Structure formats: C-alpha cells, structure tokens
Amino acid sequence: MRNLKIYIVALALLLTGCSINSLNDSTFIEDRNNPGLPEYSEWGFNTFGAYIDRSAYVSAYDVMPAKIIVSADTFQLRLNGQWKGSPLTLKFSLKGYNPTNYSSLTSLNDSRFNLVDKNYKVTMIYLGNTQVLNVYEGELYFKRVQLLYVDKESTETILSGTFMFKTHFADEPVTISSGRFDLGIGFDNFYKF
C-alpha cells in the first residue's frame, strides 16, 4: 500500500511538472538513424537539420529557426541555425512564387524545386561571409504543407519537407545531405514587402 502511494505521488508530480510547449517553441527529437539531426516530422516542431559534409547543421533553440520573406516575385525561406558552434543561415530563393500570406503557403504542398534551375538560388551566410552558392545538383521538396487551427481559427501553416544539394563553398566542394524541416509559419515569421 505504501509503495502504491509513492507511485501515485510520483506520477502526480511528473504530470504537473510537464508543460505543453507554445506554438513558437522548438521541439528537437533526435533521429536515431541520423545522429545530431532532428527526426523528420510534420507536427510543426520548428526544427530543421542537415549534414554539411557530415557535420550537423541544426536549428538553435534561442533563435527563430525560419523566416519567410516575399518581395516582388520572389519567395525566400531562411533557415537560421548552428554549424560547428557558429551561426549559419541558408536562404532558398524561389523566383516566380509570390504567396499573399502564410495561409496561402498551402499551394506548396507536394512541390519539388530543382535547385539547379536559374530561377532558384541558395545563399549561405557563415562567419560574416555571404555567398550565393553554385548548386550543381539538388532539390528542395515541400512534402506536406498544412494549416494549423486552434479554436477553429487558422494560427499558422506547417511546412514539412526535405532538401539536399551539392555545391562549392569557400573554394571547396560541399555536400548538404539528409536535410529536413518541420516549421510553423505564422504572423511572427512571414513577411511580405
């Protein structure tokens, strides 16, 4: 009987000590098959990750992991994270795509973009250097894009997908592989100018 009471108290403490993350928080669940990267998910965990030549590049908890900036006829997805202990940003720019708001991002569902196409570009910002990358093989894939409703009101769009490409950075060939993202995009990180 005494052990049962201890278990009930322990369970109650555990349950009351747990809190639900807000929509803006990042939830990192490591992928067992790809150490250092988050699992691929479609739940709006606000995480992303990829290997840059076998070193993990991932979203950081204390930085907004993603922003979408739309200007004129260009859509830009910015992934802000960490690589080898320093901030690194990848920017995917897609010319010809011009969503009006975060809800209209659902048109990206099941869309693939060949990053070799001249209408698309990838930019890397690392250690104060900004370089438009010459991608010679690769793809950005928006596998699933869905609206998230809270109390019957649209609060954000969840973008989930993958990316990978080969390029040159700092005069050396580089492979970005196993890229995945699961991002909540809403009022605070969607910009249209």
CA angle, residues 185, 86, 144, in degrees to nearest 5:
25
Reported as a single tens digit per residue, the pLDDT across 14-29 is 444 433 445 567 899 9
Residue 23: the pLDDT is 53
pLDDT of residue 29: 95
Kindly report, residue by residue over 97-140, the tens digit of the pLDDT: 999 999 999 999 999 999 999 999 999 999 999 999 999 999 99
Record the pTM.
0.86
Residue with tokens 């979408």: 68
Q: What is the pLDDT of residues 140-164, one digit of tens each?
A: 999 999 999 888 888 999 999 999 9
| Sign, Cα dihedral of 36, 40, 43, 46 | positive
- Residue 5 above 50 pLDDT? no
**Looking at residue 24, what is its pLDDT?**
62
> Region 82-101: what's the mean pLDDT?
96
Q: What b/e sequence results for 149-158 when a residue is b if at least 16 CB atoms lie within 10 Å of its CB, and e otherwise?
A: eeeeeebbbb
Average pLDDT over residues 45-69: 95
Indicate whether 180 pLDDT > 80. Answer: yes
Cβ(60)–Cβ(44) below 8 Å: no
**CA nearest neighbour of 163 among 183, 140, 142:** 140
